Amino acid sequence: MAKIMGPRFKLSRKLGLNIYGHPKAMKRATKGSSRADKKLSDYGQQLLEKQRLRAYYGVMEKQFANYVKLAKKSKLQTGHALVKILESRLDNLVYRIGFASSIRQARQMVVHGHILVNENKVDIPSYLCEV
């Protein structure tokens, strides 16, 4: 299992967004210190948004690229389809329902086998749920 390692608060400050939902994550952020505050090119803005999505959902680069390929095949706009795919992950659904206080905690609940989908134990956080 691969996951994003490293200092979480530093990543939040770099991206200019409290991606982990911790109340103190942006405490030491000063004005003009993050990349989000600087003047960016179009490519820089797109890269920053991609990095924010990856960090928020805890997805590695290769898996994110696969989600982008799926989104491109969709009939919806690519951006909307990508967010829809990311929101339908099992760990994210567990977080949104309120069983966990963060996506990382929801991921741990799924991996430990505490979640049933259609009366079957699923321990894969990237499991894509359907209505």
Per-residue pLDDT of the chain (131 residues; tens, 9 = 90+): 577 788 888 888 888 888 887 788 878 776 656 666 678 899 999 999 999 999 999 899 999 999 999 999 999 999 999 999 999 999 999 999 999 988 889 999 999 999 999 999 999 999 999 88
Distances (CA, A) of 68 to 28, 45, 80, 108: 33, 17, 11, 25
pLDDT at 76: 93
Question: What's the rounded Cα separation, in Å, for the pair 49 and 39?
Answer: 14
pLDDT at 24: 81
Query: 0.75 cut: is pTM over it?
Result: yes
pLDDT at 48: 92
Two tokens, residue 67 = 């989600």
